[in-house]
Amino acid sequence: MLKGYREDSARLRVLISGSSGLIGTPLKKLLQDQGHAVHTLVRRSPRDASEHFWNPASGEIEAGILDHTDVVINLAAASISRWLFLGRTPWAAGQKRNILTSRLDAAKTLATAITRATTPPSLLIQASAVGFYGDRASEELTERSSRGEGFLADVQVQAEAAASEAESDVTRICYARSAAVMGKGALSTSLLKLQTAVGLGGPIGDGSQWWPWISLHDEVRALAYLANHETTFGVFNLVSPTPASALDQTKALARGMRRPHWLGFPRFAIVALMGEAGKEILLTSQRVIPERLLTSGFKFEDETLEAAVSRLLHSD
């Protein structure tokens, strides 16, 4: 069990990048509901005292902001799947470059600011992803597992390395390797729902590949959990403790929506239409376990696919 959990009303000063995104928006609200003072980094003119300008592409960040922060949560990153699911050219060179540089620029800008701060924050939570592990068939993958091969593995390795420059005797780092998020507003979830709603739900490839997943609700809770502990550091897999195949997940969605499950998206079509991106996002198999979250005492509220699908379909 991790010690140092803030169960009292002590307020943290939290700074979030990527606060307007799918995860950042509810995370900001949860941390505020917990009584913490939440500030955000924005790339436009700040609208109030809780917003602070930064431009990670040029390394700019408001002077001194890291001197007044306890926890930094870096969620800033270009979407890995947006171009794929919107039917654009699969991972053209410019898109791959944007996926990588958006992560490196954000991590480097924050790491540099933290190392230069007079009173640096005690914790940096760096968003990462299970793409780190590559395609591993049915191998059980924990935080102790080695990196994999492929573009997504390279991206996560480089982004984590850039963030690691912030580590010191004062500042510890958590690398939050997240699975695909199941929740309203998630592009992949929305498209699977649409496919199922129109009666075209079915296996993705042969459906046997392990798809690591986590509900948006538990993703946000897990990030807040890491922020609220004074001794967290190192890698944490933010994935459901109930591994499921792609077929398990598409079937669970079809059952929840009371729609047929028969057609799907065959492997040859994925490869032909989406190339490398389709292979890495849809066909890669990763049986990832949240070993460190579980041993730390974190309790998932959407532990099963049925619970996550129910929240997805019936929550406001």
Section 163-175 average pLDDT: 97
**Cβ atoms of 210 and 138 closer than 8 Å:** yes
pLDDT digits (tens, 9 = 90+) for 71-118: 999 999 998 876 555 545 567 778 899 999 999 999 999 999 999 999
pLDDT digits (tens, 9 = 90+) for 204-217: 999 999 999 999 99
pLDDT at 5: 38
d(C-alpha 242, C-alpha 189), whole Å: 18
Q: What is the mean pLDDT of the chain?
A: 92
pLDDT range class, residue 6, cuts 50, 70, 90: very low
Q: Strand (E) positions, the chain?
A: 13-17, 37-42, 51-55, 60-61, 71-74, 123-129, 140-141, 172-178, 180-182, 213-215, 234-238, 287-288
Under the phi-then-psi rule, with left for phi > 0, alpha for psi from -120 to 50, and beta for the rest, what region is 310?
A: alpha
CB-neighbour burial class of residue 4 (10 A; exposed 0-12, middle 13-18, buried 19+): exposed
d(C-alpha 36, C-alpha 13), whole Å: 6
3-state secondary structure of 117: coil
Domains and CATH numbers, the chain: 13-182+212-240+286-302 (3.40.50.720)
Query: Whole-prediction pTM value?
Result: 0.94
